[in-house]
Amino acid sequence: MEPIEDNLEKIKAGKVNILKCRDDHEPILFRKKDESEFELIPKSSCSWISNDESFGTKQLRKQIEPWLTALAQSEHFSLLIGSGLSEAVHRISTDSGMPGMQGTNWENFTTQIENAGKTSAKSAGRDNPNIEDQIRVVNELLKGLQHYCVDSENPKKDDELKVKITELSRERINVLKNFSDEILKAEKNIAATEDKKREDAFGYLMNFLLSFASRSGTRDRLQIFTTNYDRLIEAGAEIAGLHLIDRFVGNLFPIFRSSRLNIDIHYNPPGIRGEPRYLEGVAHFVKLHGSLDWIYSGNEIRRMGLPFGASSIAPYLDVIGLNGIDAGSLMIYPNEAKDRETSEYPYVELFRDFASAVCRPNHTLVTYGYGFGDDHINRMIEDMLTIPSTHLVVISYSDPLGRIMKTYEKVCRPAQTTLMLGNHLGDLKTLVDYYLPKPAIDRTTFKMAELLKARLGTEHTDKDDGSIPTGGEK
């Protein structure tokens, strides 16, 4: 692992590419030599390229594409998408990065929020707390202060504290509203860009999803999980014609149901009775951290009709039946902690879906744009790898927190892990153009491969013995 230790900062920034797939015994580090060629990093060894030899996408494709195609046809297959996908699509369409998740300045309990936020960020490997760290701290602080006020022995001090608690609650709602507006701004940037760039961005997103969703009809459905709050995956699936099955039921104002887990879509082929088959273009979909359009209303989780690219969430909350609902009721993790039940629901159901999906024999999990910054998710992935027939594929543009490589070293299961990191291997355009499985793996494909193999074998035999390729003896 010496080359990795010598290039840690470049790996974090994505300037050094890391590849480990198929029969590679250890990660291979390489960098760009020029626009079309690459070279190995000093001290990095490779079994299929000599140390002083340059190589290009053709050699890389031979190593990567067949391997990913085979893994995509595992009995069980899942895709975990992080913020890297949204960042990639946003950059293709706007030539700029997404609005960040930086922390904000709080007017009440400033010192407490700042210190606790730093502790939370440090445990996740970040130098500075982001908005999620701060909201989580504020939720815990509000809950603790409310308990304290109930048992306070100083009424005057209690009244002063209640005022500060009320102010902090209002401040938290405003922060959540601003946070949701930033997510909407990113969606709007993509939707409002010039036609050519928007078409390119959604084209790559669509083909990225189709590369994994096009599975043989005899295999289990693709399971898509995401930690993102935006609706890019839903938009890409809609353009691609993919039907996403989640836990929501209904059309006008869908409601989250715990019972809607194993439903699917089948059809009866013409002339065949009693043998329903999977309908193509269907995937199961779970948003682990909630979504921008989920709200808590009347002890229920609902999905509201928020258009992609809307300017603000406020007008869509001002409807009959949502009286008193504000940004504080948005189900984005960490959500408003009204009580123990609502602080766990629906996230406990969503994480259970993830655990039950990945911890199965003959399962492959592909992560894209996920920086391994969520310990609750990482634990499930580590548990998955204790099953010998499972496999983990990690694809990322960079490793800014250094947690991808730390996790790789920690689990110490190289035979069950594929790594594709860096500004070349993790670039969305490059992946779709060169390395991802093609969006159609079916019986016709395999039949064509068998025919080509048979024909090439025949031509080889004929060339050796000089016989006539077709017809009988003459």
Nearest to 11 by CA among 410, 401, 413, 436: 401
Summarised one tens digit per residue, pLDDT across range 149-185 is 765 566 666 777 888 888 998 898 888 888 888 899 9
pLDDT at 338: 39
Whether the per-residue pLDDT at 132 is higher than 70: the answer is: yes
Mean pLDDT of 78-95: 95
Where is pLDDT greater, at 12 or 459?
12
Nearest to 213 by CA among 31, 205, 178: 205
Whether the per-residue pLDDT at 450 is higher than 90: the answer is: no
pLDDT band, very low/low/confident/very high, at 44 (cuts 50, 70, 90): confident
Summarised one tens digit per residue, pLDDT across range 218-231 is 788 999 999 999 99
pLDDT band, very low/low/confident/very high, at 313 (cuts 50, 70, 90): confident
Task: Using CB atoms within 10 Å of the CB of residue 162, give its burial: 0 to 12 exposed, 13 to 18 middle, 19+ buried.
Answer: middle
Q: Which amino acid is at 90?
A: H
pLDDT at 461: 47
CA 136 from centre of chain: 22
Mean pLDDT of 398-411: 92
Whether the per-residue pLDDT at 93 is higher than 80: the answer is: yes
Mean pLDDT of 56-71: 93
pLDDT at 300: 85
Chain mean pLDDT for the chain:
85
Q: What is the pTM of this model?
A: 0.87
Q: How far, CA to CA in Å, does 15 sit from each of 5, 9, 320, 417?
A: 14, 9, 52, 21
pLDDT at 184: 92
pLDDT at 468: 42
Distance CA 364, CA 14 (A): 24
Mean pLDDT of 312-321: 77
Distance CA 401, CA 115 (A): 20
Please state, for a pLDDT cut of 90, what percent of the chain lies above it. 42
Summarised one tens digit per residue, pLDDT across range 239-282 is 999 999 999 998 888 999 887 667 888 888 887 777 788 888 89
Please state, for a pLDDT cut of 70, what percent of the chain lies above it. 88
Distance CA 18, CA 405 (A): 10
Nearest to 236 by CA among 90, 367, 72: 90
Where is pLDDT greater, at 234 or 446?
234
pLDDT at 459: 53
Where is pLDDT greater, at 46 or 366?
366
pLDDT band, very low/low/confident/very high, at 11 (cuts 50, 70, 90): confident
Where is pLDDT greater, at 129 or 243?
243
pLDDT at 444: 67
Whether the per-residue pLDDT at 337 is higher than 60: the answer is: no
Phi, psi (deg, nearest 5) at residue 86: -60, -40
Summarised one tens digit per residue, pLDDT across range 94-123 is 999 887 777 788 988 989 999 988 888 887
DSSP labels, 42-92 = TT---SSS-TT--B-HHHHHHHHHHHHHHHTTSSEEEEEE-HHHHHHHHHH
Coil vs helix vs strand at 259 = coil
Summarised one tens digit per residue, pLDDT across range 350-400 is 999 999 999 999 999 999 999 998 888 999 999 999 999 999 999 999 998
Summarised one tens digit per residue, pLDDT across range 284-296 is 999 999 899 998 8
Whether the per-residue pLDDT at 441 is higher than 70: the answer is: no
Whether the per-residue pLDDT at 467 is higher than 50: the answer is: no
